[in-house]
Copies of this chain bind each other. A is one copy, B any other.
């Protein structure tokens, strides 16, 4: 047994770091829902008749709501993929400082992505850059893992 249990142990600083950033990213992800809700109320733009009725408006869409929803979907498309991939990556026994740097950079990139997408819109390439930093980190860890486990 040995090695695997050592890597998936709380005695392994990298595994603790992984758990920490995974949970931080999950909090970030699920808080997109209240952020969408805030835009729905601000713009009185609801998707469900029962919600619109309560507020005496008709169902409608609004650009600011859809923007937050796209940022939310982008998180869904990228964050779980990072968490699953980095779980495998930890088991390749990577150099701890470097792996920690990747986890931190991915997390920062996703916060920046949401900020420039949904909170304070700045011109490209801010959003594209933060997206690609996250994507490339996940792809890098994926290729290391695939090569290691094939």
Contacts and interface: CB of A to CB of B under 8 A. Distances in A.
A148 to B, nearest CB: 9
Contact of A72 (B4, B5, B77, B135): B77
A146 B139 CA distance: 26
Copies of this protein chain in the complex: 3
Contact of A23 (B20, B24, B63, B142): B142
Contacts of A54: 123-124
- Where chain A touches its partner, the secondary structure class is helix
B77 A23 contact: no
Interface residues of A, number: 59
B4 A11 contact: yes
Contacts of A30: 77-78, 81, 135, 138-139
B77 A29 contact: yes
Interface of A: 1, 3-6, 8-11, 15-17, 19-20, 22-24, 26-27, 29-30, 32-33, 47-51, 54, 63, 66-67, 70, 72, 76-78, 80-81, 83-85, 87-88, 91, 121, 123-124, 127, 131, 135, 138-139, 142-143, 145-146, 149-150
